[in-house]
Amino acid sequence: MQVWLFLMCDSLVVSGIGVKSQQNAASNSFIVADSSVKVRSLREVLMRSLQSTLKRIQIVALNRAHAATLRGLGKVREHRHCPLCGWTGFQFSAGKPGPFFRFDARCPSCWSAERHRLAYILLKDSLPAKIDKILHFAPEPEIQKWLQGRCTEYHTADLMDPRAMHKVDIQDMPFADNTYDLIWCSHVLEHVPDDRRALSEIRRILAPNGIAVIQVPLWGTKTIEGDLPTSERVRVYYQEDHLRRYGTDILERLSVDGLSVSVRNVQELELQLVLRCSLNDMASNDVFLLRKLA
């Protein structure tokens, strides 16, 4: 298919040259050159679109092949379970296309990812049954309903998402000191230019004994950061809008004065539950709990 596309585009260039050669020789070279540039640009766009389509087809094929394999091994239909929405089925859907393919990742009903299910399982019984005020940063619909049911007041905030209740820069928040009893901040800090300033702001607006739930993508032991061009961010940070790649040394960064830090992770859970909810260390991440000292 790719060969056919190249041949088609090349034939367009040749045809353009042939037609223009019959026109005035003085203007012919300029028009043909311009036509060639446009066709080459068209070819590049078509090739990018084709590559994206082929990648999606590959994901669907892998999904079906894996499902057929499990059925052949005699696995039951109700192989997976989403604790957030209650969905039960044979397997989860594939994750979004990216540098790392995540098979069996997203709930086909509520679209929860591994990190949402992990945080819910770890915290549903350890958080207070009723919380006064919750601030949900970059609100994820996958866990929004659960958080709303745990509090008296539920607020959402985001710098870019127009659906959020408050348009807020997490590095400079307009909220008063000691306002929120729970702040949920999942996969946000890796996008923030000054994450230390953001953590300081989180500490400021947390009420005494309040808790901030932090999740970030974790890779290795050492955090890597620096001002890179967009083209390099995917290679180094694994996503073009990430400004750093966190390692487990993030604990040092989270240890802000006035906050105690604890870590929850998938290793606390029984293997059967991990498999049934399709959790794994790489995609689920640790859950960091920052409690403001009274």
Instruction: Specify the pLDDT at position 232.
Output: 82
pLDDT of residue 31: 44
pLDDT reported for residue 280: 75
Q: Which CATH number fits domain 114-292: 3.40.50.150, 3.90.380.10, 3.30.530.20, 1.25.40.10?
A: 3.40.50.150
List, for residues 243-280, the tens digit of each pLDDT value: 888 999 999 999 988 999 999 999 999 999 999 999 97
Exposure class string for 42-74: b at 16+ Cβ within 10 A, else e: ebeeeeeeeeeeeeeeebeeebeeeeeebeeee
pLDDT at 129: 86
CA–CA dist 234, 228 (Å, integer): 10
pLDDT in tens, 189-245: 998 999 999 999 999 999 999 999 999 988 888 988 888 888 888 787 778 778 888
Strands of the 131-137 sheet, one edge to the other: 166-167, 151-158, 131-137, 180-186, 206-215, 287-292, 259-264
Range from 28-37, 71-80, 283-292 carrying the lowest mean pLDDT? 28-37
Number of Cβ atoms within 10 Å of the Cβ of 290: 23
119-172 pLDDT per residue, tens: 999 999 999 888 999 999 999 999 999 999 999 999 999 999 999 999 999 999
pLDDT at 70: 52
Domain boundaries, the chain: 2-72, 114-292
Tell whether the model's pLDDT for residue 39 goes beyond 60: no
